[in-house]
Amino acid sequence: MNKILEIKDITVGYETDKPVLKEVNLSIFENDFLGIIGPNGGGKTTLLKTILGLVKPVSGSIRFFKGGHETSINIGYLPQINRVDKNFPISVFDVILSGLTAQRKFFNYYTNEQKNKAKQVAQMMGLEAFLNRPIGNLSGGQLQRTLLGRAIVDEPDLLILDEPSSYVDKRFETDFYKILEKINKNTAIVLVSHDVGTVVSLVKNIACVNEGLHYHSGANISTSWLEKTYTSCPIEIVGHGDFPHRVLEKHEGCKCCNSDDE
């Protein structure tokens, strides 16, 4: 399988001396579906930001490949919902179309071909009835599919999803994951989620990020592997609905258990 991304020994930090990520190595392959899990503050989003070029590593390297050659690659990104300005007055269609901005010539408008592409993607996302609706009037699941449409309309080589379950529209969760399976036929996916059970049921490979990165080839992981890699957070997985869900055992002194997110 061809590699599309290779991270070698990266160490990443912000202002403080203590690194958030330390000597991390990771390879992502064509058609890969990598789940990234890990405790709160473990460095998952920092790793995504580093891949996206938003944060510069203190040391180490990131290389991208296409067709066996080192080059830049096209990356689509679905952010966490709390990073989205839902009050921005823009329609579903325009949000999806904006994913094609890079193809626009200076001062030119979008071509009919680009508009048709955006409509096709809206259809794939089940949003054809909402094209003119402002994004502030969408449900969580509709907003999520709109932003996913924007992330894939330019046919990225790699799609990065940060906490897709944060959009909390349980009714459409299964549909959303079916769309991801379809996208994964042509695109590598990296999915960050707190929901270990969902990750396990969807992905092909798993990495647990907790300052270091623990890679697990295949999705058949054991609770003891999870406990070992999470270190500070005992964890178990229970069956619930279509996907198993994670339950953290409450215990003293664990920042995960006392976080507002839980």
Ligand X SMILES: Nc1ncnc2c1ncn2[C@@H]1O[C@H](COP(=O)(O)OP(=O)(O)OP(=O)(O)O)[C@@H](O)[C@H]1O
Residues that bind ligand X (CB under 6 A): 14-15, 20, 38, 40-46
Neighbours of 1 (CB within 10 A): 8
Give me the least distance between CB of 179 and ligand X, in Å please: 23
CA angle 194, 162, 164 (to 5 degrees): 70
Name the phi and psi angles at 118, rounded to 5: -65, -40
- Find, among 128, 188, 140, 126, the residue nearest to 1 by Cα: 188
CB nearer to ligand X: pick between 15 and 113: 15
Q: In terms of CB distance, is 137 or 259 closer to ligand X?
A: 259
Closest separation in Å from C-beta 82 to ligand X: 10
Residue position matching structure tokens 């992981």: 221
Three-state DSSP state, 221: coil
Nearer CB in complex with ligand X: 44/145 = 44
CB of 20 to ligand X, least distance (A): 4
CB of 53 to ligand X, least distance (A): 15
Q: Return the SS3 of 85.
A: coil
- For residue 93, give the nearest of 33, 138, 47 by alpha carbon: 138
CB nearer to ligand X: pick between 124 and 235: 235
Cβ-based nearer residue to ligand X, 22 or 216: 22
Helix (H) or strand (E) holding 6: strand 3-12
Per DSSP, the three-state class of 123 is helix
For residue 257, the minimal CB distance to ligand X (Å) is: 13
